Amino acid sequence: MNNLHPAADAHHFLVPAKLNLDLRIIGRRADGYHLLESIFTLIELYDQIWLRVNNNGHIAMHTPADEIMAEQDLCVRAAQLLRSHTGTRQGVDIWLDKQIPIGGGLGGGSADAAVVLMALNRLWQLSLNKAQLLQLGVQLGADVPFFIFGQSAFARGIGEVLSPISLPKQWYVIIKPPVHVSTPKIFAHKDLTRDSKPRIMPDFQAGQHWCNDMQSVVLAEYPAVKAAFDVLAEYGSPMMSGSGACVFLSFDSESAAQAVYNKVSHAHQAYCVASLARHPFYQ
């Protein structure tokens, strides 16, 4: 990333992405938010964040994304939210190395915001507990609480009601099509399934059929996502993560995943990554 020169005394944090292994829309709240059920897993695809506390009270993003104004950046918004909630007068300098693709359904922006909340809670010595951080996180985005939760989870509500779930180690081949899917457009689509049957806590080992209720709408509306889906369909049963655009295949072994990655990566923006049982922040 251009201008990525974090201060030597800045604290460094790894920021993992996520996949939705299952995503169902079971209803809608009175305020318009959709009620979801999803299985989340962390994956070994990382952004990196450096934070240096300052005493001048400024929250400074030194590596803003080209298309995002600094005040709209989720890292900045997370720091501002934490400061306003606690009343601290401390500031922070932020450097972000963005490797998780934007608009891919991998939760990169939410993951960044979660790490800023967790890290500044520690660096600013605010002593908020995880439940308090989760309540702040949901104000920034529905995926943020999962990253604060920090482990594989079965999510309900709008994504903020989280229960731990045990998942076997998996490897994933992910293709990011050259398109940005509009989440509001998909949620508003007339053909979107909104009445999937709620479930009790799923058992991953039971071999249930996993699905994504947004997938059929996205494949119909975005030919580039359909093309990527069809590429992976030659090797198994792919799924889309979140509202897209990334599609992925899961494998029980690294060698099997690597073999498919080698076949698709020459023509597509692709990743071969393992699942991650626990967020690096909690290691």
Show which residues are catalytic.
Answer: 18, 143
Per DSSP, the three-state class of 98 is: coil
Give the number of C-alpha atoms closer than 13 A to the C-alpha of residue 118, restricted to the C-beta side. Answer: 26
User: According to the annotation, is 103 in a ligand binding site?
Assistant: yes
Q: Is 104 in contact with 222 (CB distance < 8 Å)? A: no
User: According to the annotation, is 207 in a ligand binding site?
Assistant: no
Cis peptide before 228 (omega within 30 of 0): no
User: According to the annotation, is 107 in a ligand binding site?
Assistant: yes
Nearest to 21 by CA among 275, 279, 282, 278: 275
Q: Is 205 in contact with 245 (CB distance < 8 Å)? A: no
Query: Alpha helix (H) ranges present in 205-268?
Result: 215-221, 223-233, 254-264
One-letter amino acid identity for 47? D
User: According to the annotation, is 35 in a ligand binding site?
Assistant: no
User: According to the annotation, is 153 in a ligand binding site?
Assistant: no
Name the helix (H) or strand (E) containing 185: helix 183-187
User: According to the annotation, is 110 in a ligand binding site?
Assistant: yes
Per DSSP, the three-state class of 149 is: helix
User: According to the annotation, is 78 in a ligand binding site?
Assistant: no
Nearest to 50 by CA among 34, 62, 58: 62
User: According to the annotation, is 108 in a ligand binding site?
Assistant: yes
The rounded Cα 171 to chain-centroid distance in angstroms is 17
User: According to the annotation, is 220 in a ligand binding site?
Assistant: no
User: According to the annotation, is 227 in a ligand binding site?
Assistant: no
Query: Alpha helix (H) ranges present in 73-170?
Result: 74-86, 108-123, 130-137, 144-149
User: According to the annotation, is 105 in a ligand binding site?
Assistant: yes
Positions at the binding site for ATP: 101-111
